[in-house]
Amino acid sequence: MQNPTAAMLVIGDEILSGRTRDSNMNHLAKELTKHGIDLKEARMVSDDAQAITDAARTLAAAYDHVFTSGGIGPTHDDITADCIAAAFDTPIDVRDDARALLQAHYDRQGQELNEARLRMARIPDGATLIDNPISTAPGFTLHNVHVMAGVPTIFETMVASVLPTLTGGAPLLSQSLRVERGEGDIAAPLTALADAYPDLSFGSYPFSQNGLYGTNIVIRGQDGAQLDQAMTALAEAMQS
């Protein structure tokens, strides 16, 4: 059986402007790989309501899971929750359980739960809250879309909270071989191996370092024994 599929939607002008470097996609890809969920697509969109809504609706229809990052804070440009609600034609408002979490958090901090902070308690009807042990403001899951914060430390804790609730498949395994040969030299034997092992994925990635150049060859698959066989065949082919 095929693994479940996923897409990621990265939201924020600061990402697209280059002001902030996104690390969340890399983290998510690694965690999904270990869990047996195949990340198939990643998109980045600006803080534009129509763009977020359209992308979320399209990705949710195409994949088993969609993970979003960014846009669920207290400021005017934090519009992700409203957009996800719109994507599913679902009402959204301040929810009592989310409000209670925030009230307790700001009471402990000796701060007011003002109107801006209360925006973080706006949750679409029927959504399940995603725990945020760092700053309390929850994410949420609506249908197959998991809405998370953009701050990497918070995003990572939310991923850790959500993944155990999702059914995964077979983890994707990988092995690699570094050869001091260019891609033009290895293309023919690599193609032959890819044809011989159609259930495996073969990738070649050139490198140039300290005056040396060559290729890192990576083989990926779910069958460990088959992966070992292919690596043995690859090593033999690179020696000829």
Residue type, 175: Q
Q: Rounded mean pLDDT of 142-152?
A: 97
Domain boundary among 149, 165, 181: 165
Domain boundary among 165, 191, 226: 165
Q: Indicate the pLDDT class of residue 209, thresholds 50, 70 and 90.
A: confident
Q: What is the pLDDT of residues 173-191, one digit of tens each?
A: 999 999 999 898 899 999 9
What pLDDT is recorded for position 1?
65
Strands 173-179 and 145-148: unpaired
* Number of domains within the chain: 2
Direct distance between the N- and C-terminal alpha carbons of the chain, in angstroms, rounded to an integer: 37
24 and 117 both lie in a single domain: yes
Q: Which residue has the higher pLDDT, 2 or 29?
A: 29
What pLDDT is recorded for position 62?
98
Q: Rounded mean pLDDT of 143-157?
A: 97
State the pTM of this model.
Answer: 0.87
What pLDDT is recorded for position 172?
86
122 and 49 both lie in a single domain: yes
Domain boundary among 144, 165, 186: 165
Q: What is the pLDDT of residues 77-121, one digit of tens each?
A: 899 999 999 999 999 999 999 999 999 999 999 999 999 999 999
What is the layout of strands, in order, in the sheet containing 173-179?
173-179, 212-221, 201-209
* CATH code at position 153: 3.40.980.10
Q: What is the pLDDT of residues 23-76, one digit of tens each?
A: 999 999 999 999 999 999 999 999 999 999 999 999 999 999 999 999 999 999
| b/e sequence 122-158, b meaning 16+ C-beta within 10 Å | bbbeebeebebeeebbbbbbbebbbbbbbbbebbbbb
